[in-house]
């Protein structure tokens, strides 16, 4: 594909992803109230544990509306994750054979549960994080959190966990597209482990090492699994070329 064709393909995929997000946001708009109850649950738990007011605070007339729009878009990301993950696959693998294109089902089938698993792990970490952070609030005081700042914090946490769990599947997609070789990935395993632990240290909002290790280990295991799949795929490609030659 020429550079212009690549740019047109990028625009096409972005438009398709945007359409999916808009439709998902419409559904998210109607699911706003129960979702807000879930998002506020860690604050309520911290409030009960500390016996101090820990709640959201909406500042400004438009804050509640802005928050509802943001939460709707946030939910849209989850509702449409099979759609935008498929668009990524369709963009990076246009040169595959018809047989290999069928792997798109496997890619989406693996990426979606991994993304949701990462998001679920973030959800498990969130109450622990809120409990530790509110532990620094002095006694006999209140902790009023700006609604948009709190929701941005939660969204970044969940999306970062979800995408980190999908990253090994993305490496496999890049390998199938011929962009990266399995041996190259294996050669950089030390950097991959370092990046996984560094990412875990940055993204986990708690100072304890146990949470960081629990986040980093699954990412490392998924990376080595992706490397194994990439190496097996490279061997299949080499045998196919050898048979043709």
Query: What is residue 204's three-state secondary structure?
Result: coil
Confidence at residue 98, expressed as pLDDT on a 0 to 100 scale: 62
The rounded distance, in Å, linking the Cα atoms of 29 and 154 is 18
- 87, 17 in Cβ contact below 8 A? yes
Examine the pLDDT at 243 and tell me if it is beyond 80: no
- DSSP structure class, residue 139: T
The rounded distance, in Å, linking the Cα atoms of 197 and 202 is 9
What is the chain's percent helix, strand, coil content, to nearest 5?
A: 80, 5, 15
- What would you report as the CA-atom Rg of the chain, rounded to the nearest whole angstrom? 21
- 28, 35 in Cβ contact below 8 A? yes
Q: Which of 63, 202, 33 is nearest to 146 (CA)?
A: 63
Residues of 165-183 as b/e, b for ≥16 C-beta within 10 angstroms? bbbbbbbbbbbbbeebbbe
pTM of the model: 0.71
Q: 């109230």: which residue's tokens? A: 33
Q: pLDDT: is 75 or 206 the higher one?
A: 75
The rounded distance, in Å, linking the Cα atoms of 116 and 52 is 33
Tens of pLDDT, residue by residue over 93-120, are 665 556 556 666 677 778 888 888 888 8
**2: its two tokens:** 């020429």
Question: Minimum mean pLDDT among 18-22, 132-136, 148-152: which range?
Answer: 132-136
Task: Give first-to-last CA distance, the chain, whole Å.
Answer: 25
Q: What is the mean pLDDT of the chain?
A: 82
Phi and psi at residue 143, to the nearest 5°: -125, 95
Examine the pLDDT at 224 and tell me if it is beyond 80: yes
Domain residues of the chain, as ranges? 3-244
- 140, 56 in Cβ contact below 8 A? no
- 71, 28 in Cβ contact below 8 A? yes
What does the chain come to in residues?
A: 245
Contacts of 157 (CB under 8 A, 6+ apart): 122, 125, 126, 129, 203, 205
DSSP string, 12-50: HHHHHHHHHHHHHHHHHHHTHHHHHHHHHHHHHHHHHHH
Confidence band of 185 (pLDDT split at 50, 70, 90): confident
**How many C-beta neighbours within 10 Å does residue 122 have?**
24
Confidence at residue 91, expressed as pLDDT on a 0 to 100 scale: 74
């Amino acid at each position: 594909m020429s550079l212009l064709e690549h740019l047109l393909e990028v625009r096409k995929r972005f438009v398709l992803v945007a359409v999916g997000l808009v439709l998902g946001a419409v559904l998210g708009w109607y699911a706003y109230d129960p979702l807000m109850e879930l998002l506020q649950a860690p604050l309520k738990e911290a409030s009960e544990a500390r016996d101090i007011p820990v709640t959201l605070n909406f500042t400004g007339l438009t804050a509640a509306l802005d928050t509802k729009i943001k939460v709707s878009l946030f939910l849209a990301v989850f509702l449409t994750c099979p759609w935008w993950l498929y668009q990524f696959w369709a963009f990076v693998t246009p040169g595959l054979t018809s047989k290999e294109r069928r792997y798109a089902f496997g890619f989406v089938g693996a990426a979606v549960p991994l993304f949701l698993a990462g998001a679920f792990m973030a959800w498990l970490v969130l109450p622990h994080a809120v409990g530790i952070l509110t532990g620094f609030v002095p006694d006999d005081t209140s902790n009023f959190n700006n609604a948009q700042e709190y929701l941005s914090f939660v969204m970044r946490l969940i999306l970062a966990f979800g995408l980190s769990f999908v990253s090994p599947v993305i490496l496999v997609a890049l390998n199938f597209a011929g962009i990266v070789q399995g041996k190259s990935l294996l050669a950089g395993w030390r950097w991959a482990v370092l990046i996984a632990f560094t990412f875990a240290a940055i993204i986990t909002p708690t100072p304890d090492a146990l949470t960081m290790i629990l986040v980093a280990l699954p990412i490392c295991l998924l990376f080595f699994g992706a490397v194994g799949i990439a190496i097996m795929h490279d061997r299949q490609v080499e045998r196919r070329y050898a048979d043709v030659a």
